[in-house]
Amino acid sequence: MKRNGILNQALSEAIASMGHGEIMMIVDAGFPIPRDAWRVDLAISPNLPTLAMLYEVIAPELIVEKIMFAGEVAEHNIPLYRTLRTWFDERDFAPVTYEETVGPLAQKAKVIVRSGALDPWGNIALVAGVDYRAYFRNPEISVPERFRALMDRTPFVPGASRS
């Protein structure tokens, strides 16, 4: 038996498969998942699991460089926005239209994880990143300025309190 982390085989495999720039969507119970999408359906009953539950287990295991969500979330779904701020760095937030979340983003997503959430605008696209520090560990490799800025950012610790 696996000791810790995500125990669900399908979700663990999906996270491990993510490459730089690929999209994983975490969606609500009613999301129109494209027929040919790689679907990880975790919905058990209404609000089980919640989006917050999924972020709590996914955020520590997936390097995320951009979070795309319907712009309505920040104004009209404050609890969801607060949850996103807990698990992801606001500097990586990229609000889009609701139509983009159910259309083009869903079509581009490598993986779509369905929750049981009944959460307005609860369809969030996570764009996978990389650990830039790991790539430039060798002192003989020079670091271009655009990567230096990414490496110099204070590392974001998912779920850590930020005062």
Which of the following is catalytic: 5, 13, 20, 21? 20
- Burial of 63 (C-beta count, 10 Å sphere; 0-12/13-18/19+): middle
Instruction: State both tokens at 137.
Output: 């560990």
Measured between its terminal Cα atoms, the distance across the chain in Å is 38
- Closest to 126 in 3D by CA, of 52, 5, 28, 26: 26
- Closest to 156 in 3D by CA, of 62, 70, 74, 75: 62
- Closest to 19 in 3D by CA, of 55, 64, 67, 57: 64
User: Is 20 an annotated catalytic residue?
Assistant: yes
Distance CA(155)–CA(153), nearest Å, equals 6
Catalytic residues: 20
